[in-house]
Amino acid sequence: MAPPPAANNGGAGGFSRVAIVGVGLIGGSLGMALRGRRLAQTIVGIGRDAARLETARGLGAVDEIATDPAAGVDGADLVVLATPIRQIIADLATLSPLLSPGALVTDVGSTKAEIARAGDAALPRGTFVAGHPMAGSERSGVEAANPELFIEAVWALTPTAATNPDALDRVKALAQGVGARVLVLDPHEHDRAVAVTSHLPHVLAYALSALAADTARNSPHLYDLAAGSFASATRVAASPPDLWQDVALTNRAALAEVLRAYRADLDTVLAALDAGNADVLRDRFQAGFDAKRG
């Protein structure tokens, strides 16, 4: 019998069989990165659509594929949940009884508090390490995956009081192994921060994109007059609406809070426009400029 391939998966921290549930942009990129760097012996891709899994295997994202979750996670010492958030939460419960003893579970969802709570509730104590690689884009699908997606990206890990420190270290080593900069922080702090830096920008882009389409009905040249600022401001409106519905629903309170604060600033600008108050307009624009430059 041939010896197993020499892989950088031994000793403390390495994994030998990694199951990735959902082989899209993030899951596929992670599979490619782990395979390219030999950070695991075997990567198995789990999903519902055999044809899409075959595409993922053809692109080098996974070694094996499984449409049966029980078969897919059997023997895995790490399971990575890389589906939309509601599916992650559902899978935490359904996969839990199927896991091999000692298996760790992590995820890549864009919100963390609800997922961390669900993982702690569903899985053996200490074995869940909630995570969020900040490496998405408006593109989706394994066709957009690339093994360098995580290089220099921040990968947030949000342990709870229940998380086993060794489990955290092993998932941290995995993220660092694919080139990411790991940031460990509280899941609620994570969710409040990304409400501003990621979730609100998506809400704003969708709303501007929709407003432009509405306005264009009575303004035939509107899109001819769209230059760089419109393109930047609406870029992420090309992101999948179902994914962002999940994000918004699982970070409702934090997103509503920042949206209220944002709306209050717009109200200030609107009042200044109505009154022709040059000083207030200048003040608000200057505040944004200073923050951008600062």
Q: Of 272-291, which residues contact a copy of itself (CB under 8 A)?
A: 273-274, 276, 278, 281-282, 284-291
Best CA proximity match to 105, nearest among 177, 195, 15, 41: 15
Q: Which residue shows structure tokens 């993922």? A: 56
CB of 25 to a copy of itself, least distance (A): 12
Paired tokens of 90 = 């559902």
Q: For residue 262, with 0-12 CB atoms within 10 Å meaning exposed, 13-18 middle and 19 or more buried, which class applies?
A: middle
Supply the angle between the helices 113-122 and 241-250 in degrees, to the nearest 10: 80
Interface positions, 184-203, toward a copy of itself (CB under 8 A): 185, 189-190, 192-194, 196-198, 200-203
CB of 83 to a copy of itself, least distance (A): 17
- Whether the CB-CB separation of 147 and 29 falls below 8 Å is answered with yes
Instruction: Classify 45 as helix, strand or coil.
Output: strand
Does residue 222 belong to the site contacting a copy of itself (CB under 8 A)?
A: yes
For a copy of itself (CB under 8 A), the number of binding residues is 90
Q: Looking at 144, 154, 162, 173, which residue binds a copy of itself (CB under 8 A)?
A: 154
- Whether the CB-CB separation of 128 and 105 falls below 8 Å is answered with yes
Does residue 245 belong to the site contacting a copy of itself (CB under 8 A)?
A: yes
- Residue 97: its H or E element: none
Does residue 151 belong to the site contacting a copy of itself (CB under 8 A)?
A: no
The smaller minimum CB distance to a copy of itself, of residues 71 and 259, is found at: 259
Interface positions, 246-275, toward a copy of itself (CB under 8 A): 248-249, 252, 255-256, 258-263, 265-267, 269-270, 273-274
Does residue 93 belong to the site contacting a copy of itself (CB under 8 A)?
A: no
